[in-house]
Chain A
Amino acid sequence: MGHELVGMSNARLVEVRRGIGFIFQAHNLFESLTACQNVAMAVELQGGFRNKREQAVAILEKVGLGHRVDYKPNSLSGGQKQRVAIARALVNRPQLILADEPTAALDKESSRNIVTLLQALAKEDGCTILMVTHDNRILDVADRIINLVDGYLESDTNPREFAAAHDPKNLDPKMFIL
């Protein structure tokens, strides 16, 4: 976005944060608010006080939670909570979404749903998603994979090359011999 973040003033930092959607490993929803209100909290940031509910409901329907609009996080499943969190991150159409292990606490099916959903919505809005993950079941949705090992860049490829490089058939049998 063309800004140096380090040493930025507090007020500028707030501006930058408003242009970024966050998805956390733990969903970090507000327990005392319903799904809709959780999303509306983000809408308020852009000053959309009047139609915040409509906006929130619309995005919740997109993530497939139209029937859970007025449920509190406690009565939602893990996948549903994460989808509310995604709705919250997407509702302001940010340029960048930072996702920190969004599928870590989810089973295979929910993980798959969530990443495909993220991918579809991102394509629709034309935003960038930067996802950090250990979950190799969802790697195929990525357009670019950067492999970090112990803080060093190991590879920077697209999914096809990445899969080829990690195909067990190509592994050197010697690495299993001590």
Chain B
Amino acid sequence: MDADVFLVSPQTLELSTSQSFPRDRLYQTQSIAGVARTMPVYVGYMQWRNPETRRSRALFAFAFNPRDPVFLMPEFDDPGLIAAMERPNTVLFDQRSRPEFGPQTPGTTTEVDRRQVVIVGNYTLGGGFTADGTAMMSDQNFLRFFSPRPLDRIDMGLIQLAEGADGETVVQAIDAKLPNDVLVLTKDEIIAREQRYWLIAASLGFIFGLGVAVSFVVGTVIVYQIIYTDISDHYAEYATLKAMGYRNWFLFGVVIQEALILALMGYIPGYVASVAVYELASRATSGTLPMSMNMGRGIFVLVLTIAMCSISGLISVRKVITADPAEVFS
């Protein structure tokens, strides 16, 4: 979305379950210096009927004034598309919506909540955790499809700043002017807010976090078993080293080295496998789930792996340290 400052209701947890707030709040900001343009955005779910199977499915819809440059996608540079959006009962359909919604080619006619609708164009956005598919429409069509929702209550207000205006000062000015029934956020803040919701507040993020914790513990146990077995297999050799006069520190080092090698050798195929799983997951959602293997995550997992193997190594090294060479050979 092409905006610098966002207004949302304080009750909005994340975009798809937005609470509405008065459109007047958005208009109020226009008097503040530095605000160049304001654009109201409406969102909602509608029952989209697949014209082939005649089954309905919830589709996430964005609505806005077609003349507002709300989205940055290149498709909206086409004036014909804008004109088509302004006709009644038309929508733009997301090419990355799931195939269960049926054909997406422009000209397809189907029903939304007992009202005929025509697809007049496509764009490429993609759903997410909450939406299997998305569509966009004009605010006038939103009024038709989502009746009796009035247009004077909006879900999100977008504010574009004039060139050279400082985002922080404008945000503070808006914040000071508006009553506290709206939240004023910069673009970075609203992205962070959405991510925080999904990572922490939603059970989804918690489950993933728990998965990491559990696999860490299980991994520690498995690596401990591997190292312990290996130490048992080479017990005589460790005892020989000890009998020759090597210090415990040296044996320590050998076991830690082994653990590190194990960690690295396990990490490399694991990394490849998880990149493949990421790819699989993003294919399954037509490349729309915000999942990616980034540098930080890779290094974080590498550190976890090394920590896991080192802990296991330290636990299993006790057997060697307490070994009395005289007893091993008796």
> Taking beta carbons and an 8 Å cutoff, which residues of A are in contact with B?
10-11, 14-15, 17-20, 22, 24-26, 28, 30-31, 41-42, 45, 88, 100
Contacting residues, chain A, for B242 (C-beta < 8 A): 17
- Given A24-B329, A25-B329, A100-B329: A17 in contact with B240 (beta carbons within 8 A): no
Q: How far is the CA of A42 from the CA of B246 in the complex (A)?
A: 9
Beta-carbon nearest neighbor of A28 in chain B: B240
Beta-carbon nearest neighbor of B244 in chain A: A42
Q: Which of B24-68 contact A (CB under 8 A)?
A: none
Interface residue? B3 (CB, 8 A): no
Interface residue? B161 (CB, 8 A): no
Contacting residues, chain B, for A31 (C-beta < 8 A): 237
Contacting residues, chain B, for A17 (C-beta < 8 A): 242-245, 325
Contacting residues, chain B, for A26 (C-beta < 8 A): 236, 329
A41 x B329 contact (CB < 8 A): no
Q: Which of B198-252 contact A (CB under 8 A)?
A: 236-237, 239-248
A10 x B240 contact (CB < 8 A): no
Give which listed residue, B237, B247, B329, contacts A30 with CB less than 8 A.
Answer: B237
- Is chain B's binding surface mostly helix, strand, loop or mixed? helix
Give which listed residue, B245, B248, B325, contacts A45 with CB less than 8 A.
Answer: B245
Q: How far is the CA of A45 from the CA of B247 in the complex (A)?
A: 9
Closest beta carbon of chain A to B39's beta carbon, Å: 70
* 28 CB < 8 A contacts A-B: A10-B248, A11-B247, A14-B246, A14-B247, A15-B245, A17-B242, A17-B243, A17-B244, A17-B245, A17-B325, A18-B245, A22-B240, A22-B243, A22-B244, A24-B240, A25-B329, A26-B329, A28-B236, A28-B239, A28-B240, A30-B237, A30-B240, A31-B237, A42-B244, A45-B244, A45-B245, A45-B246, A88-B244
Q: How far is the CA of A120 from the CA of B32 in the complex (A)?
A: 103
Closest beta carbon of chain A to B154's beta carbon, Å: 72
Q: How far is the CA of A45 from the CA of B249 in the complex (A)?
A: 13
Contacting residues, chain A, for B236 (C-beta < 8 A): 26, 28
* 8 tightest Cβ-Cβ pairs between the two chains A and B: A18-B245, A17-B245, A28-B240, A22-B243, A45-B245, A14-B247, A30-B237, A14-B245
Beta-carbon nearest neighbor of B325 in chain A: A17
Q: How far is the CA of A22 from the CA of B242 in the complex (A)?
A: 11
Beta-carbon nearest neighbor of B248 in chain A: A10
Beta-carbon nearest neighbor of B321 in chain A: A10
Task: Other than A25-B329, A45-B246, give 12 A-B pairs with Cβ distance below 8 A.
Answer: A14-B245, A17-B242, A17-B244, A18-B244, A19-B245, A22-B240, A24-B240, A24-B329, A26-B236, A28-B240, A31-B237, A88-B244
Q: How far is the CA of A24 from the CA of B243 in the complex (A)?
A: 10
Q: How far is the CA of A15 from the CA of B248 in the complex (A)?
A: 12
Q: How far is the CA of A28 from the CA of B244 in the complex (A)?
A: 11
Cβ proximity bits B302-329 to A, threshold 8 Å, 1 near / 0 not: 0000000000000000000000010001
B237 x A28 contact (CB < 8 A): yes
Q: How far is the CA of A31 from the CA of B237 in the complex (A)?
A: 9
Q: How far is the CA of A15 from the CA of B245 in the complex (A)?
A: 7
Contacting residues, chain A, for B241 (C-beta < 8 A): 41
Contacting residues, chain A, for B237 (C-beta < 8 A): 28, 30-31
Contacting residues, chain B, for A30 (C-beta < 8 A): 237, 240
Closest beta carbon of chain A to B71's beta carbon, Å: 63
Contacting residues, chain A, for B245 (C-beta < 8 A): 14-15, 17-20, 45
Q: How far is the CA of A100 from the CA of B325 in the complex (A)?
A: 13
Contacting residues, chain B, for A10 (C-beta < 8 A): 248
Q: How far is the CA of A41 from the CA of B236 in the complex (A)?
A: 15
Contacting residues, chain B, for A14 (C-beta < 8 A): 245-247
Which of B240, B241, B242, B325 is most buried by chain A, counting CB atoms within 10 A of its CB? B240
Closest beta carbon of chain B to A75's beta carbon, Å: 18
Closest beta carbon of chain B to A45's beta carbon, Å: 5
